Amino acid sequence: MNTALPQDAGQAAARAERRAYYERIRALHLSPLWESLHALVPREPQSPCVPALWRYADIRPFLMESATLITAEEAVRRVLVLENPALHGRASITQSLYAGLQLIMPGEVAPAHRHTQSALRFIVDGQGAYTTVGGERTTMFPGDFIITPSWAWHDHGNEGIAGTSEPVVWLDGLDIPMLRFFDAGFAENDDVKVQRVARPEGHSFARFGHNMVPVRHDHASATSPIFSYPYARSREALAQLAKQEAPDAWTGHKLRYVNPLTGGSPMPTIQPFLQLLPAGFSGGAHRSTDGTVYSVVEGRGQAEIAGQRFDFAPKDTFVVPSWAPLRLVAQDEVVLFSFSDRPVQQAMDVLREHFER
């Protein structure tokens, strides 16, 4: 029995006619914008990413097990990729960013290579590994933020310090999905496993790291000339601020790392931050179009992301998708490192933030 009114029958016929038309134009690789306009030009961001937290206590045993399966040298980079649960198989923690935990055991070497992807390292566990970037070596300590600029030769190793040797784990943050999007990825291996060290450790920090820069310098890169930002220095700034001023109601005491030559982000595609939340801090909800990856350095607390509560502890990693409201609560005094694709959104003039009152 056909209960459709003549009007409905007319609409069904029109829909069938459209579908047949879509089929015909598909052969010419054409598609009707009007069927997808709302999804293509959404009223507000509709990120496919979901909030997620990786507990270091859960991950560490698997990370250590990986060292029994493969050497750093064979792996080239022995990393467990932190994949957004909604982006399985895409090696992405947000649509634009990659994150992973890299392990280097005492005595191991991760051989020299270079690529157009920019990388940051944030040291999570252990000390005494090094990375050499463009001929300068830096020793890694927990909380240090280190940059590998686009196309810079880099190798990592773990020789230990002061007679100690321990596994070292750091968080890798790269713009891999962005470069994949732009089809702009190039890479090559060096002829040697370990590049020649050309300058003493601390050289670039002496030249650019003290609010002074050499009068005659020829640094032409868009990436900061400082490639290691030691935790001791950044932490000291936060400790002073926490004593001297009230925290921001949303973000606590939050600083962004800068390129000393420009005052802008140290990396062209990624902006890193470090923030301190006083013990007992209960922040307001805020959202931003730059999806952000957080690494917990000190203290326990909660991140409420889009209404979901995540309890965090030191060395945990969590991700806040674009435009998801975030509220931070600190049980202890908390220090968080974070990074996002903010410089790219700023260059495109599309960054939006909202702080709820």
- Residues of the shown chain interacting with ligand GTQ in the complex, contacts defined by CB under 6 A: 77, 79, 100, 102, 115, 119, 154, 172, 174
Taking the complex as a whole, the smallest distance from the CB of residue 54 to ligand GTQ amounts, in Å, to: 14
Closest to ligand GTQ by CB, 122 or 312? 122
Secondary element (H or E) of residue 148? strand 145-148
Question: Are residues 101 and 171 in contact, defined by beta-carbon separation less than 8 angstroms?
Answer: yes
For residue 210 the two structure tokens come to: 């003290």
What does the alpha-carbon distance between residue 40 and residue 243 come to, in Å, rounded to a whole number? 47
Question: Are residues 138 and 204 in contact, defined by beta-carbon separation less than 8 angstroms?
Answer: no
Residue recorded with tokens 């920019």: 118
Taking the complex as a whole, the smallest distance from the CB of residue 311 to ligand GTQ amounts, in Å, to: 26
Closest to ligand GTQ by CB, 102 or 289? 102
CB atoms within 10 A of CB 175: 26
Q: What is the DSSP string of 312-346?
A: E-TT-EEEE-TT--EEEEESS-EEEEEEESHHHHH
Closest to ligand GTQ by CB, 114 or 254? 114
Taking the complex as a whole, the smallest distance from the CB of residue 145 to ligand GTQ amounts, in Å, to: 15
Closest to ligand GTQ by CB, 115 or 253? 115
What does the alpha-carbon distance between residue 63 and residue 61 come to, in Å, rounded to a whole number? 5
What does the alpha-carbon distance between residue 79 and residue 121 come to, in Å, rounded to a whole number? 12
Taking the complex as a whole, the smallest distance from the CB of residue 338 to ligand GTQ amounts, in Å, to: 17
Phi, psi of 17, deg, nearest 5 = -65, -40
Question: Are residues 125 and 150 in contact, defined by beta-carbon separation less than 8 angstroms?
Answer: no
Instruction: Give the DSSP letter of residue 35.
Output: G
Residue nearest to ligand GTQ (CB): 172
Taking the complex as a whole, the smallest distance from the CB of residue 161 to ligand GTQ amounts, in Å, to: 20
Taking the complex as a whole, the smallest distance from the CB of residue 28 to ligand GTQ amounts, in Å, to: 40
Taking the complex as a whole, the smallest distance from the CB of residue 154 to ligand GTQ amounts, in Å, to: 6
Q: What is the DSSP string of 180-200?
A: HHHT---EEE-SSSSPPP-B-
Taking the complex as a whole, the smallest distance from the CB of residue 167 to ligand GTQ amounts, in Å, to: 16
What does the alpha-carbon distance between residue 23 and residue 18 come to, in Å, rounded to a whole number? 9
Q: Which residues contact 325 (CB under 8 A, 6 or more apart)?
A: 285, 286, 287, 304, 305, 306, 307, 356
Closest to ligand GTQ by CB, 121 or 286? 121
What does the alpha-carbon distance between residue 310 and residue 328 come to, in Å, rounded to a whole number? 10
What does the alpha-carbon distance between residue 324 and residue 255 come to, in Å, rounded to a whole number? 21
Taking the complex as a whole, the smallest distance from the CB of residue 112 to ligand GTQ amounts, in Å, to: 9
Closest to ligand GTQ by CB, 117 or 251? 117
Closest to ligand GTQ by CB, 176 or 277? 176
What does the alpha-carbon distance between residue 266 and residue 119 come to, in Å, rounded to a whole number? 11
Closest to ligand GTQ by CB, 175 or 333? 175
Closest to ligand GTQ by CB, 59 or 329? 59
Closest to ligand GTQ by CB, 96 or 102? 102
Taking the complex as a whole, the smallest distance from the CB of residue 286 to ligand GTQ amounts, in Å, to: 29
